[in-house]
Chain A
């Protein structure tokens, strides 16, 4: 039984996983997820793909908002940039492995422009600036027909990875999983690097951070660019996954979805992004499945549960905020601590 960890140097304290047991469990989890297309049903694989895409966008927003404290309401718009970008790159004949990072880079470049006002305004005022960016980009998605196809949207041909066509969910799962894993590791590493510490300093006390030598403009814009890059990658993967996308997908509600995900999951933590994305995707789906399952035996309850699902979902979010404002990641940490210290109480 582990009751705690003892580090003899800073290197030990900076490790991503604090014990061999944690590393083994993480390896088992990653292995199980990686083999999902072999043992999972079509529905499970499809849901895993959707969760993976949302996870990438959520991790990006957690860097921008959770780590650097910059409230962004334009994450969905950056996803749209990534999605339309891969469609264009595919038309130009660029392969998937090049189009995707380029889409992320384009989204990051636009994120840089959107992040520039952060030096002059902060907090809710900056959030409004990002909201404006969202509406500008949404307008372009709808009206710039030669590029975005207008309201009709665009089609994205199946991804091709060195001759292997990634058609179907079971094949498309792998690039989504790989991107989520790599970007998750990147986000964790950013968090424990100088850049991550600078983000936190900017979030907590930007004036003090500046006095300590942190270039505010550079790190605020960098946080925004990183968040937008992640969103661009998620948007690109979304385009390849669905094959056709319209501007109606990238709504303000989707941006709010991601903000809710990082708050419910836990700000500033990669695990928070994972738990938040999973929660926000699966809870409404679970309520729908429950309603569907009950429709045969208790149709009155099922018909009530279906429209009440959104109310229940909202109530769950509020309950989390009241009882655990640090999010599901903190709940997870408490559960772990309980098991580590059992039979002693925390």
Chain B
């Protein structure tokens, strides 16, 4: 090899190394002051929720950055896919903690929240929120770093029972209630609270049916309902199927019970599917719906989505939930920065617990009280066939 060729090769090698080095910064974002990470279930059977929540968190953070960030500090968002699998979620969170050093992490559900709790606590500087509404995560001894962006499963049922109690008092009749729920945490965690509140209010629970989340033999379950003849059937833990088929077979069997659900079971996909069969869904939502005009923040959300994602037809409850969680993260950070405190877990926890009358821009109706690491309020909505959407059937109820 001649000297010239050797020199050329050396220069080429140096240029390639520099090129590689120069290539990496192009993909690394500028260092931001506050890092928010997220493990969304963007693939897998929960992808309908994960894609919405990833969009929501990204949108909120972009909007916030465009409006001054957090007291001038920019926010950097790192969203990854957990596929709703604990192994993948744990790997994602650990990688995020090691490389991005987030101060806040959004988690895809209760199993992941529990699995990463030790690692999150070990950092001493991460606060978590997420999709889970499990009251197990409110245990301050084990999960002091975690909060719920709404009421627990049990609290939503308590609100629902309160509403049923009030309506039945007004009408002078005592409705018979049947509970149909899934055998997962989304379904069965609420039931003991439901039954306790019903007993306190004197509302009889005449039937309990437990099913798998999907692939349900509806006919045999409806046969059980025929025997008990409920006036109200509350579905818990279903996003859509098999509820429409369940209700259709209920009507064929002569069961004219009112259909109710809560939170994730009150999304557009459910009420539209039931409305096709002429059904009116009623239930408890902790947030306003995406088409609400009374809430300033909802209007802002809608306008932003129309600008960045005009093809998105509606705003789902998953989107609102994640947007609100982003708001809570930023509010906690803002309170710490204002107080000149570092974003350590004790400081963030104290900041969260100081949010006793926090204005969510109307998303939650009432001023939010996060001192107990949850927002224990909601409102009953009912389907309006004329407007083809859910409309308020009660005021905001705090339990």
Tell me whether A284 and B185 are in contact (CB under 8 A): no
B285-307 interface with A by 8 A CB criterion: none
Residue of B nearest to A54 (CB): B87
A243 adjacent to B115 (CB under 8 Å): yes
CB distance from A313 to the nearest CB of B (A): 11
In the complex, which residues 10-63 of chain A have their Cβ closer than 8 Å to any Cβ of chain B?
Answer: 41-43, 46-47, 50
Asked if A67 is an interface residue, CB under 8 A from chain B, the answer is: no
The reply on B253 being an interface residue by CB < 8 A is: no
Q: Are A307 and B43 in contact (CB under 8 A)?
A: yes
Contact call A151/B188, Cβ cutoff below 8 A:
yes
Using a Cβ cutoff of 8 Å, how many contacts connect chains A and B? 91
Instruction: Report yes or no: A153 in contact with B94, Cβ–Cβ below 8 A.
Output: no
- Of B83, B87, B118, the most chain A CB neighbours within 10 A belong to B87
CA distance A42 to B91 in the complex (A): 10
* A172: min CB distance to chain B, Å: 10
Q: Is the CB of A50 within 8 A of B81?
A: no
Residue of A nearest to B44 (CB): A310
In contact, B91 and A248 (Cβ under 8 angstroms)? no
Whether, in the assembled complex, B47 has its beta carbon less than 8 Å from a beta carbon of chain A, the answer is yes
Q: Does A127 interact with chain B (Cβ within 8 Å)?
A: no
B183 near A46 with CB under 8 A, answer: no
Looking at the complex, which of B10-18, B95-103, B274-282 is the stretch in contact with chain A? B95-103
Digitize A160-186: 1 where CB-to-B-CB distance is under 8 Å, 0 elsewhere.
000000011100000000000000000
Let me know if A244 and B117 touch, CB within 8 A: yes
Q: Is the interface of B mostly helix, strand, loop or mixed?
A: helix
Residue of A nearest to B92 (CB): A288
- Check: A155 CB closer than 8 A to any chain B CB: yes
Q: Tell me which residues across on chain A come within 8 A of B110, comparing CB atoms.
A: 246
Distance in Å: Cβ of B318 to nearest Cβ of chain A: 17
- With an 8 A cutoff between CB atoms, is A324 at the interface? no
Interface size on B, residues (CB 8 A): 37
**Is A201 an interface residue when CB atoms closer than 8 A count as contact?**
no
Is B208's beta carbon under 8 Å from chain A?
Answer: no
A217 to B115, CA, bound (A): 40
Main secondary structure of the interface of A (DSSP, over half): helix
Contact A285 to B115, CB < 8 A, known contacts A151-B183, A152-B189: no
B139 to chain A, nearest CB (A): 10
Contacting pair B91 A152 (CB below 8 A): no
Given known A42-B98, A288-B88, contact A244–B115 (CB-CB < 8 A):
yes
Q: A249-B86, A293-B27 are in contact. Are A285 and B43 (CB under 8 A)?
A: no
B114 at the interface (CB under 8 A from A): yes
CA distance A151 to B115 in the complex (A): 14
- A307 to B115, Cβ gap below 8 A? no
Contact B91 A43 (CB under 8 A): yes
| Nearest-CB residue, chain B, relative to A167 | B118
* B99 in contact with A43 (CB, 8 Å): yes
A246-B111 in contact given A46-B94, A167-B118, A307-B47 (Cβ < 8 Å): yes
- Measured CA separation A298–B80 after assembly (Å): 16
Closest to B143 in A: A244
Q: Is the CB of A142 within 8 A of B183?
A: yes
Given contacts A42-B94, A50-B90, contact A151 B117 (CB under 8 A): no
In the bound complex, CA of A152 to CA of B138 (Å): 13
Whether B43 pairs with A242 at a CB distance below 8 angstroms is: no
Q: How far is the CB of B140 from chain A (nearest CB, A)?
A: 15
* B136 at interface by CB-CB < 8 Å: yes
Residues of A within 8 A of B97 (CB): 42
Chain B residues with CB below 8 A from A310, complex form: 43-44
Say whether A292 faces chain B, with CB atoms less than 8 Å apart.
Answer: yes
B26 lies within 8 A of chain A by Cβ? yes
Q: CB distance A153 to B91 under 8 Å?
A: no
Contact assessment for A306 and B42 in the assembled complex, using a CB-CB cutoff below 8 Å? yes
Please tell me if B122 contacts chain A, counting CB pairs below 8 Å: yes
B125 to chain A minimum Cβ distance, whole angstroms, is 15
B184 within 8 A of A: yes
B122 touching A43, Cβ below 8 Å? no
Q: Is A50 within 8 A of B91, CB to CB?
A: yes
Q: CA–CA, A291 to B189, complex, Å?
A: 36
How many whole Å from A122's CB to the nearest CB in chain B?
28
Q: Are B189 and A297 in contact (CB under 8 A)?
A: no
Q: Is the CB of B184 within 8 A of A151?
A: yes
Whether A245 is near chain B, meaning CB under 8 Å from some CB there, is: yes
User: Which residues 132-161 of A sit at the B interface, judged by CB distance below 8 A?
Assistant: 142-143, 150-153, 155, 158
Which residues of the other chain, B, contact A101 by a CB distance below 8 angstroms? none
Q: Give Cα A50 to B118, complex, Å.
A: 16
Does B142 reach chain A (CB closer than 8 Å)?
A: yes
Cβ contact within 8 Å between B185 and A246: yes
For B111, give its contact among A43, A142, A248, A309 (CB under 8 Å): A248
B98 partner residues in chain A, CB cutoff 8 A:
41-43
User: Is A296 an interface residue when CB atoms closer than 8 A count as contact?
Assistant: yes
Interchain CB contact under 8 A, B47 and A242: no
Contact B88 A285 (CB under 8 A): yes
Given A288-B88, A296-B27, A297-B27: A152 and B94 interface contact (C-beta under 8 Å): no
Min distance, Cβ B331 to any Cβ of chain A, angstroms: 28
Cβ–Cβ < 8 Å partners of A46 in chain B: 90-91, 94-95
A residues near B117, Cβ cutoff 8 Å: 243-244
Q: State whether A169 and B86 are in contact (beta carbons under 8 Å apart), knowing that A244-B117, A288-B81, A306-B42 are contacts in the complex.
A: no
Of B26, B91, B118, the contact of A285 (CB 8 Å cutoff): B91
Q: How far is the CA of A47 from the CA of B87 in the complex (A)?
A: 9
CA gap between A297 and B122 in the complex, in Å: 34
Select B26's contact among A42, A297, A307, beta carbons within 8 Å.
A297
State whether A309 touches B188 (Cβ < 8 A).
no
In the assembled complex, the Cα of A323 lies from the Cα of B371 at a distance in Å of 60
Return A232 CB to nearest CB of chain B, in Å. 19
Q: Which of A150, A158, A246, A307 contacts B114 (CB 8 A)?
A: A246
10 contacts between A and B (CB under 8 A): A43-B98, A46-B95, A150-B188, A168-B119, A243-B118, A244-B117, A246-B114, A288-B88, A296-B26, A306-B42
4 closest Cβ pairs, A-B complex: A244-B114, A42-B98, A43-B95, A151-B185
Add 4 more A-B contacts to A46-B95, A248-B184, A307-B47 (CB < 8 A).
A42-B98, A155-B142, A243-B115, A245-B114
